[in-house]
A = this chain, B = another copy of it.
Amino acid sequence: MSFEFEIIKTQGRARAGILHTPHGDIPTPVFAPVGTQATVKAVPPRDLHEIKASLVLANTYHLNLRPGSDLVREMGGLHQFMQWPGPMLTDSGGFQVFSLAEINKIDDEGVTFRSHLDGSKHRLTPERSMEIQQNLGADIIMAFDQCPTPTDREVVERAVERTSRWAVRCRETHPSNEKQALFGIIQGGIFEDLRAKSAAFLNTLDFPGYAIGGLAVGETKAEMYTALGFTEPLLPANKPRYLMGVGEPDDLANSVMLGVDIFDCVIPTRLARHGAAFTPMGRVNMRNKVHTNDPAPVDPDCDCYCCKNFTRAYIRHLVRAEEILGAYLLSIHNIRFLIRHMEAMRKAIINGDLKAYTDGFLERYRNTIGVR
C-alpha cells in the first residue's frame, strides 16, 4: 500500500523504518538531497542512483516561477521531466516566499509576492500550492504554511494559527490519495506550548506524515534540539517525521536520536560548489595549501566515485581552477557522505547500538575541526 510507514526497530526515540511510496521504498532515517530547480545541482540522476539516494526534494517556489508547473505537468510530471524515477518530495513554496521573494501582501487568504528572478507578480495560497504540487506530481507534498522567526513569540503564535487554518484548506483541496501523500507542518518555534497547540490541531487532520517546520532558521543549535525534544512526543508514533532544511552531519545524528525520520538540505551541494568536503573529521576546505600534493582521497572510508578515484591534490587543483568537475565530484561525495551517515545510523538502530555510533561520530566530527 502506498505511503505505508513500517517501523522495523526503535532504539530510544530513534526509529529505523521503511516508507513505501508509488515510486519505491525509502529506508528511514533518510537524508534527501535537494533538486531545487528540478536538478540536484551538478549531479546527474544516474549518479544519484549510484550514491543510493532514495528520496529527492524539489522546490515548488522555484519550479512555479521557472519553468512553470503547467509545463512540468505537460512533460509528464517531475519524475519524468528530470528523469528521477525514485521517490520525490516537494515543499509548499511557503519557506521560499518568505525568505527569497519581495512580499507585497500577506493575509489569511494567501501571499502576493514578486519573483526574485524578474520582479513579476505572483500569488500563492494553500489552494494554489496544492495545485502546483499536484502538477509537479511528487510522491510526498507539503501543506502551505507560514514559517516565522522561531524566537519571536507573538509572531510565532499568529503563524501557528494561520498555519492551522491553511492546513485545513490544503487538506480539503488535496486529500492524500494513492499517488500523493500530503504531510502537515507543525509550527510553534521554540515555544513548547505553541508546538503543543500546533501539533494537537494538526493531529486532528490525520496527515500521513508530519514535518517539524520553522527550525534551523535562525535559532541556536541548543534551541533547535530543545524544541525537537519537546515536539517529538507530540507527534503520532506511527507516522513519519520530517525535519525540514537540516543536513549538517552533527544535526543529523542528534536529530535521529530525537526521533526524526526524514531530512533534506542544500548544504552538501552548496558546500561542494564552494570547495568544501564532509569528512569523518569535519568539514575540510579543499582549497587549503595542505592538500597540494596529498595523494589521499577526500575521505578514505567513502565508496563514492570521487573518493575511489581522485586525490585531494587533484580536487584542490579543480577547486582552485574553478572547474565544474570539482563541483561535480564534491557534490557526489558530500551527498554520499550524508547518505552513508544515515545508512550507518539505520543499521545501528537495527543492531541496537546507535549511541555507540553517534558518540563516536560526534566525537570525531567535532574534535578535529573545533567549530561544530
Give the interface of A toward B (CB within 8 A): 37-39, 41-46, 66-67, 71, 74-75, 81-83, 292-293, 295, 305, 309-311, 313-314, 316-318, 320-321, 323-325, 327-329
**Nearest chain-B residue to A331 (Cβ)?**
B324
Contact across chains for B81 and A44 when beta carbons are under 8 A apart: no
Contact across chains for B82 and A320 when beta carbons are under 8 A apart: no
**Nearest chain-B residue to A62 (Cβ)?**
B321
Contact across chains for B44 and A323 when beta carbons are under 8 A apart: no
Partner of A328, one of B38, B66, B320, B324: B324
Contacts of A317 in B (CB 8 A): 37-38, 66-67, 81
Partner of A314, one of B81, B314, B320, B324: B81
Contacts of A66 in B (CB 8 A): 317, 320-321
User: A46-B305, A81-B313 are contacts. A71–B41 as well, Cβ < 8 Å?
Assistant: no
Partner of A41, one of B44, B295, B314, B323: B323
Between A and B, 18 residue pairs with Cβ closer than 8 Å are A37-B317, A38-B317, A39-B318, A41-B325, A43-B325, A44-B305, A44-B329, A66-B320, A67-B292, A67-B320, A71-B293, A71-B313, A75-B295, A75-B314, A81-B314, A83-B309, A83-B310, A83-B314
- Docked Cα-Cα span, A317 to B45, in Å, equals 16
- Docked Cα-Cα span, A153 to B94, in Å, equals 67
Partner of A44, one of B38, B67, B74, B325: B325
Contact across chains for B328 and A44 when beta carbons are under 8 A apart: yes
Q: Give chain B nearest CB distance to A37 CB in angstroms.
A: 5
**Nearest chain-B residue to A40 (Cβ)?**
B325
User: A305-B46, A320-B66, A328-B324 are contacts. A75–B41 as well, Cβ < 8 Å?
Assistant: no
Contact across chains for B313 and A41 when beta carbons are under 8 A apart: no
Q: Beyond A41-B323, A41-B324, A75-B293: 6 further Cβ-contacts under 8 Å?
A: A46-B305, A66-B317, A67-B316, A81-B313, A81-B314, A328-B328
